[in-house]
Structure 1
């Protein structure tokens, strides 16, 4: 060798790491690297540049080693861990939701490729193509990739034909989610945020009926890295789905579920010193946000009780990452409501300033929910906890909003017509014969009811069919409801009916039921498939 010391370096590496026909035995290192990078946030830009630089180093190393004749099985690259580091990091960058077939396809390619190598060598020998398909590294690589991909595709097609049939998502009743509207709403709400403030989508109750995991993945693909949920179970579901960043639990977590907080890196809300002491006694490090009660009197520590707040900061194993409060009348713009909201904000920030003066790091501060952002966008906060506005819906039609930046409803609720019946004038229908037809009528029965989350109190609401409004009549059943389609033209079984959607906003249904849109959306049950558009 012309460079003895470099030859000695590689011999030491082989002595420590060993090597296989695929090169240095880096498998344990790659496993540790994957574990280390798990949960890491990545933008994709820096990682792509790093990957390019690492690949260039590997190429240079390969050319030098080949020139010196030192390769063992044509792959022994010391810079390969750098390539894998940046490749793993790049794969963690948000790219939107992958097609459902991609995961089983990639798994099959991995499982099948050793068999394809064996088959390729046998075929090459029989066809006299040994030089092209085996000895030529590039030709061998491309042939094995193509063969593995083809075999995986064939197996997936066979499985698609053999797997058990499942009902169509739109066979009965379903929810449609407009992903473009959700993205549009998030972008427009972000535009309202002051410098230094981030959007924290509130995803509780299946993301207000839109779908917890899919909504989180869409937000993640936009670079959003903070989320709020109601309970530990929702946070665990997000982590298991691969969602990274901060996940704040707004509600209470029972002591028996404390292991979930540490294992899944969830941030717990602390509402009183006694609960903070319970968390501390668990003995493992837990991130927390402190809830401050500035006037709603639901949960939180009184801002005047600064000693209790300080106690939370000093407890072992608790890492205070932020503080927040809830503005309880920020959806109203009358003078009294504005004065109360401003008083809440003053009390909260006065507490934060005093804690900072005493040497505590208060972390992220947040006061704004949806209407807090829409009506008080200038608040000096770290997060805006946006719920109902993210989904393009007002809580009530009469709500005050100083700004409504082109937000679009993202959810539609639809059902098929199950049957069309004729009812004579004076005949009753449904439980208790609560509705009496005032004239000869045609009544469509829809296969959706309060078991799906459609309100039982919806008599007087409307549905849309053939572009016409059809009133909901009679009592809503667990699995069916009635609509009067007498004036809707020809209606047949299987026709699609809209219960929430364009021309029939959720606020209207909520008003007919004497409630708010938040309740209507959060009640939509898991029996309703969610079809994302």
Structure 2
């Protein structure tokens, strides 16, 4: 027998709820542990949780900087009324530097070509840009390589009329792997880059290399500022999860043992039971690759049966079943953690949290 929710009686939309108090707790833990100021990274719309709300909670708990990947993200914070010092760190050479300068957004500079474009924009406006020279300390990703670094610091020294180098930044690739040799090598490379900048006549007041894992566990990497992304959202030891994803039961059906479920019939009902359908799937951020996943429903952990679809997931609600409109906690607030979902999917918690789709209501 199938029971279907009546139109208008069940809000058949998943919801992601942010806990600002948990954000504040995490900032306080990270400040206390690192012993230096905290930059709250609210990139990717605050890891999918709402950049403005996360930023306000973080600043209220003592974070002194905000960080974004793109200029557009930083501009959105300014337009939301957030005046805190803000750094954006990934740009094409032809980025909208003039908007960044008008809104007093600090920018990362990974090459002499970027620096020349930034300096030209600053001269057009008659201002000085606040730049953080970005050095590659072992990622082979963003940031200047060692040969390019020499060119970059020389260019910066020659553009001091238009660009103030306020910081030097880098990133460690394996800070989450205790004792990994790349961490010590990255710290040495970073120190050498700072020394080269100073030898060129630059006087960066801020050195920042550590993200969450290094902020928590690598004292030598903390320097003058730590950039906290994952930890802000509860990903890390001693931190609180900040987000709860829920979804209502929109359909139930009573089935016999052995009934196949979902695409490919990869699972069958283990007994006579009630199946509950939730209107959330991989388009909403639940990894299709998850194996052994569970949700909290009706006061108990319930297994997900079969493959996760684009828009739906089926849960074994047990022989007694649950009423239509019952709300399942997919992760957070007493249910499975984001880290558990990451383990079930063979990925990291960052991907799970940032993957929550746009049609999920935020609150």
Whether these two folds match at TM > 0.5 is yes
How far, CA to CA, are the matches of 1:423 and 1:485 in structure 2?
A: 11
Deviations 1:22-54 (A, max 9, x none): xxxxxxxxxxxxxxxxxxxxxxxxxxxxxxxxx
State the number of aligned residues: 349
TM-fit CA distance, 1:246: 1.7
- Does the C-alpha gap of structure 1 residues 202 and 217 become closer, same or farther in structure 2, counting only changes over 3 Å? same
Q: In the aligned structure 1, how far is the partner of 2:87 from the partner of 2:10?
A: 32
- How far 1:324 sits from its partner (Å)? 0.5
Please say if residues 366 and 382 of structure 1, whose CA atoms lie closer than 8 Å, have aligned partners that are also in contact: yes
Q: Is the 8 A contact 2:246 2:327 kept in 1?
A: yes
Deviations 1:87-118 (A, max 9, x none): xxxxxxxxxxxxxxxxxxxxxxxxxxxxxxxx
Is the Cα contact below 8 Å between 1:169 and 1:529 reproduced in 2? no
Deviations 1:335-357 (A, max 9, x none): xx0x3211211121122124324
Runs of 4+ in 1 over 6 A off after TM superposition: 167-170
Q: Taking structure 1 as the reference length, what is the TM-score of the superposition? A: 0.62
Aligned with 1:191 (options 23, 28, 32): 32
Do structure 1's residue 182 and structure 2's residue 23 form an aligned pair? yes
Q: 1:258 aligns with which of 75, 80, 97?
A: 97
What SS class does the counterpart of residue 448 from structure 1 fall into? coil
**Structure 2 match to 1:313:** 157
Residue pairs, 1:131-150, within 5 angstroms: none
Cα distance 1:442–1:389, how it changes in 2: closer, same or farther (>3 A)? same
Contact conserved, 1:211 with 1:530, CA < 8 A, in 2? yes
- Cα deviation code 1:132-169 (max 9, x no counterpart): xxxxxxxxxxxxxxxxxxxxxxxxxxxxxxxxxxx999
SS at match of 1:464: strand
Note if contact 1:292-1:325 (Cα within 8 Å) is conserved in structure 2: yes
The Cα of 1:259 is off from its aligned counterpart by 3.0
CA distance in 1 between partners of 2:95 and 2:67 (Å): 21
Task: Supply the distance in 2 between the matched residues of 1:490 and 1:244 (Cα, whole angstroms).
Answer: 51
Find the counterpart in structure 1 of residue 87 from structure 2. Answer: 248
1:405-424 aligned at under 5 Å gives the runs 406-424=238-256
Match of 2:315 in 1: 483
Task: Determine the structure 1 residue equivalent to 2:141.
Answer: 298
Determine the C-alpha separation between the residues in 1 that align with 2:64 and 2:192.
28
Higher helix share: 1
Q: 2:211 aligns with which of 364, 369, 378?
A: 369
**RMSD between aligned alpha carbons?**
2.2
Structure 1 residue 518, shift from structure 2 partner: 0.4
SS of equivalent residue, structure 1 residue 261: helix
Separation (CA, whole Å) in 2 of partners of 1:254 and 1:273: 10
Counterpart of 2:323?
Answer: 492
Q: Distance in 2 between matches of 1:379 and 1:326?
A: 10
Deviation of residue 517 (structure 1)? 0.1
| Partner of residue 518 from structure 1, selected from 350, 355, 359 | 350
5+ residue gaps in structure 2? 1-7
Q: How does 1:337-356 map to 2 (within 5 A)?
A: 337=180, 339-356=181-198
- 1:389 maps to which residue? 231
Deviation at 1:359, TM superposition (A): 2.5
The equivalent of 1:173 in structure 2 is: 14
What SS class does the counterpart of residue 15 from structure 2 fall into?
strand
What is the alpha-carbon distance in structure 2 between the residues aligned to residue 189 and residue 256 of structure 1?
A: 32
Aligned to 1:267: 106
Correspondence list, 1:92-171, <5 A: none
- Deviation, 1:503, is 4.3
The answer for the alignment partner of 2:3 in structure 1 is none
Structure 1: unaligned runs, 5 residues or longer: 1-166, 395-403
Superposed CA offset, 1:418-473 (max 9, x none)? 11112233332323444333433311000111222222223421111122221112
Deviations, residues 280-305 of structure 1 (Å, cap 9, x unaligned): 23334432211101211112112454
Shift of 1:234: 0.9
Secondary structure at the counterpart of residue 313 of structure 1: helix
Q: What's the offset of the Cα at 1:240? A: 0.5
| Residue number in structure 2 paired with 1:289 | 132
The alignment partner of 2:63 has SS state of coil
SS at match of 1:498: strand
Q: 1:254 to 1:240 in 2, by over 3 A?
A: farther
Number of the residue aligned with 2:297: 465
1:331 aligns with 2:173: no
Question: How many Å apart are 1:219 and its aligned residue?
Answer: 2.0
Report the Cα offset of residue 514 of structure 1.
Answer: 1.0
C-alpha change, 1:360 and 1:409, in structure 2 (3 Å) is same
Matches of 1:170 and 1:244, distance apart in 2: 37
